[in-house]
Structure 1
Amino acid sequence: MDEHCEVNWLVDTEQANARQGTVRWDPVHSLWNGGHLAVALAIAPFVASPGAVLTGIALTGLFLLLGHSVGFHRLLIHQSFRVSRPLFRFLIWSGTVAGMSGPFWIMRTHDLRDWAQRQAGCHDYLAHRRSMPVDAWWQIHCTLRLDHPPRFDPRNLGRDRFLHFLEKTWMAQQLPLAALLYAIGGWGFVVWGISVRIALTVHGHWFVGHLAHRRGPQSWLVKGAGVQAHDVPWAAIPTMGEAWHNNHHAFPGSARIGLYPGQSDWGYAFIRLLERTGLATDVRTPDMMIARQALLGPARAGDQRRLRHHPCFSRQNR
């Protein structure tokens, strides 16, 4: 199997078990997420202005694109393309400023879920299997402590001082941006550009993730996986293409997630722009993952042929 389709940062030890564990309150992330939501609900309406609202929306989209989708997910976690060291640091900083957590926490949390969903069975927390209110509380305010987790091994990234700096200061990274926003437009810009943005990012990320493991269109089934993914078409644009989650489960190491005509993928469009300007190399797409196709089965009749003949699987038509 192509190594870029593996879970990159976990070591699956013999004792590792995805089923047995305890959900516990996570005070750091709970207070952070709940605090920004409270500010967004209680204060934002009273300091709203056209400029503040537009700034909040624009910054939400900007950091979702550069930081969460391109920087954290496709670059840091899946290594689906390469960039220079300065650009790498800028994109990972953008992911940190998106406001969900630091880079190592994101890597560990993401890969634990990926690893667990590929097992024959896993804990309800990792499968988004509970009702929406319970899953929201679990994902936004709690963490899962597995009795026997796999080992987290960031390898060479574990020696990166810049990543450790971001991990330790991920909440404080909002302060320079907050100061700039205050200088431009006062407290209204700060509330909308920081708290509303973070609340939208955190809660939107959970909501789309919940739906993507519960209902929606499917093209592919991953053989042996206890949890399958679904697409959430209406969320394709606000998630920068991440909502084509069934495609992502099929080819997790691909920089391109929107595979079919009409599947908007702004994250991949930005990576292609970087590639055309010489700022990104080794951009990986499903045509480079032939071994991965052996692990996939079509969710509908005819999909296997439709995938193999799609232009995105032809290097010259990429």
Structure 2
Amino acid sequence: MASTATPEAPVIAGDRLTPGWLKIVWLYLMLVPALVWGFSSLSGSRSLASALITIITVGFGHSIGLHRGIIHRSYRCARFTRGLLAYLFVHTGLGGPLSWVRVHYFRDYWQNRMDCPAYFRYDHSMAKDYYWNLHFALKSGDISRYEIPDEDLYDPWLAFLEKTWYLHVLAAAGLIWAFFGFEAMIVCVPLRISITILGHWFVGFISHKYGYARYDIDDATEHGYNNWVLGALSFGEGFHNNHHAHPSSAKMSTEWYELDLGWYLVAGLRAVGLVWDVQVVGHDHTQKARAKERSFRWRWPWQD
């Protein structure tokens, strides 16, 4: 039963939603100091440093390392490169890599069905989605149903990072404080991570609700939408309708006017030989069988 307090969740084979206490504590551990000291600590050099860390962690670590590389296998790379990109993901401050692998498979499984539960649908308000997605976690009673590859689920390095991710972030915060001062630490850790967490959630919410789409996914609840601005700001993650239709493509843009900065990062790694066998929409068979191209359409907030 859906309610404001507890999101409706799948209950097959013991799946259940529980408060994600670690991510709740972590979110506000970052957000409170960011709000108290973050904006007064800003300077040109600190902002530039924070932006560069964001490109390295969110761009390389999350968008192309964990999402396109580990989860969707849109390219091949050496085990060292895979492990390094996973470590960079840890420093996004978004959480443990295995938690994100699991939730991605959970979400894809349910969103590609017609009986998708409310927790993974996007037919509710932004306030409710903030509460649900940033404060709850799905615990699966039968994780085998989601067909997560064993090489990911039981990867020793990913398992180590899953248990220790927050220690790496806190250690980095301590080093920045020690060498560059309190204000630099605030800008480069709590403020940056708060923007990353809230930005990732916001891009995910908007790109499932509003924008333009050119694909429908047969027998699926969620099809996603594309957003020019959010796509450019999120290393291509905002082109979500394209991604739903072409999940194995390392390039999330499909038209000249869609700026996917993550694709340029992948192309750069390919140019220096760190990744290979890169799958690209328009050049490789990346479109899922259930994705059907249809006439261009928009969805706006006032259509709710």
TM-score bracket for the superposition, by shorter chain length: 0.7 to 0.9
| Aligned pair partner of 1:83 in 49, 68, 77 | 77
Deviation (angstroms), 1:266: 1.4
> Between the two proteins, what is the percent identity of the paired residues?
28
Aligned to 2:3: none
Question: What is the alpha-carbon distance in structure 1 between the residues aligned to residue 289 and residue 180 of structure 2?
Answer: 55
Preserved contact between residue 246 and residue 286 of structure 2 (Cα < 8 Å): no
Question: What is the alpha-carbon distance in structure 2 between the residues aligned to residue 72 and residue 195 of structure 1?
Answer: 22
Aligned to 1:259: 254
Question: What is the alpha-carbon distance in structure 1 between the residues aligned to residue 285 and residue 269 of structure 2?
Answer: 25
**Taking structure 1 as reference, are residues 279 and 146 closer, same or farther at Cα in structure 2, changes over 3 Å only?**
closer
Paired amino acid for 2:173 = A
> Is 1:56 aligned to residue 50 of structure 2?
yes
Aligned with 1:143: secondary structure?
strand
Aligned to 2:34: 40
Question: What is the alpha-carbon distance in structure 1 between the residues aligned to residue 87 and residue 97 of structure 2?
Answer: 9
Preserved contact between residue 279 and residue 286 of structure 2 (Cα < 8 Å): no
Deviation (angstroms), 1:121: 2.3
Aligned to 1:156: 151
Aligned to 1:131: 125
Aligned with 2:209: secondary structure?
coil
| Aligned pair partner of 1:239 in 234, 256, 267 | 234
Alignment TM-score, normalising by the size of structure 1: 0.83
How many residue pairs end up in the alignment?
A: 287
Aligned with 1:255: secondary structure?
coil
Superposed CA deviations along residues 85-108 of structure 1, whole A, max 9, x for unmatched, are 222111110011111111110100
**Taking structure 1 as reference, are residues 59 and 253 closer, same or farther at Cα in structure 2, changes over 3 Å only?**
same
Q: Which deviates more, 49-58 or 287-296?
A: 287-296
Aligned to 1:226: 221
Paired amino acid for 1:269 = Y
Question: What is the alpha-carbon distance in structure 2 between the residues aligned to residue 70 and residue 278 of structure 1?
Answer: 15
Superposed CA deviations along residues 285-314 of structure 1, whole A, max 9, x for unmatched, are 234654836422223169xxxxxxxxxxxx
Question: What is the alpha-carbon distance in structure 1 between the residues aligned to residue 57 and residue 233 of structure 2?
Answer: 11
Paired amino acid for 2:252 = I
Question: What is the alpha-carbon distance in structure 2 between the residues aligned to residue 41 and residue 273 of structure 1?
Answer: 36
Question: What is the alpha-carbon distance in structure 2 between the residues aligned to residue 135 and residue 231 of structure 1?
Answer: 19
Paired amino acid for 1:25 = P
| Aligned pair partner of 2:109 in 100, 108, 115 | 115
Q: Which deviates more, 121-130 or 177-186?
A: 177-186
Aligned to 1:250: 245
Q: Which deviates more, 173-182 or 267-276?
A: 173-182
Preserved contact between residue 93 and residue 197 of structure 2 (Cα < 8 Å): yes
Question: What is the alpha-carbon distance in structure 1 between the residues aligned to residue 172 and residue 22 of structure 2?
Answer: 21
> Is 1:24 aligned to residue 18 of structure 2?
yes
Deviation (angstroms), 1:177: 2.3
Paired amino acid for 1:82 = R
Question: What is the alpha-carbon distance in structure 2 between the residues aligned to residue 166 and residue 145 of structure 1?
Answer: 19
Question: What is the alpha-carbon distance in structure 2 between the residues aligned to residue 281 and residue 156 of structure 1?
Answer: 19
RMSD after superposition: 2.4
Q: Which deviates more, 170-179 or 219-228?
A: 170-179
**Taking structure 1 as reference, are residues 175 and 22 closer, same or farther at Cα in structure 2, changes over 3 Å only?**
closer
Preserved contact between residue 51 and residue 189 of structure 1 (Cα < 8 Å): no
Paired amino acid for 1:60 = T
Paired amino acid for 1:265 = D
Aligned to 1:282: 277
Q: Which deviates more, 141-150 or 195-204?
A: 141-150
Superposed CA deviations along residues 131-176 of structure 1, whole A, max 9, x for unmatched, are 1101001111112346776356441234432211111101011134
Paired amino acid for 1:43 = W
Paired amino acid for 2:192 = R
Question: What is the alpha-carbon distance in structure 2 between the residues aligned to residue 67 and residue 301 of structure 1?
Answer: 32
Preserved contact between residue 17 and residue 148 of structure 1 (Cα < 8 Å): no
Question: What is the alpha-carbon distance in structure 2 between the residues aligned to residue 151 and residue 224 of structure 1?
Answer: 18
Aligned to 1:166: 161
Question: What is the alpha-carbon distance in structure 1 between the residues aligned to residue 124 and residue 164 of structure 2?
Answer: 33
**Taking structure 1 as reference, are residues 293 and 77 closer, same or farther at Cα in structure 2, changes over 3 Å only?**
closer
> Is 1:298 aligned to residue 293 of structure 2?
yes
Question: What is the alpha-carbon distance in structure 2 between the residues aligned to residue 293 and residue 123 of structure 1?
Answer: 22
Aligned with 2:253: secondary structure?
coil
Alignment TM-score, normalising by the size of structure 2: 0.86
Paired amino acid for 1:132 = M
Deviation (angstroms), 1:22: 5.1
Preserved contact between residue 33 and residue 141 of structure 1 (Cα < 8 Å): no
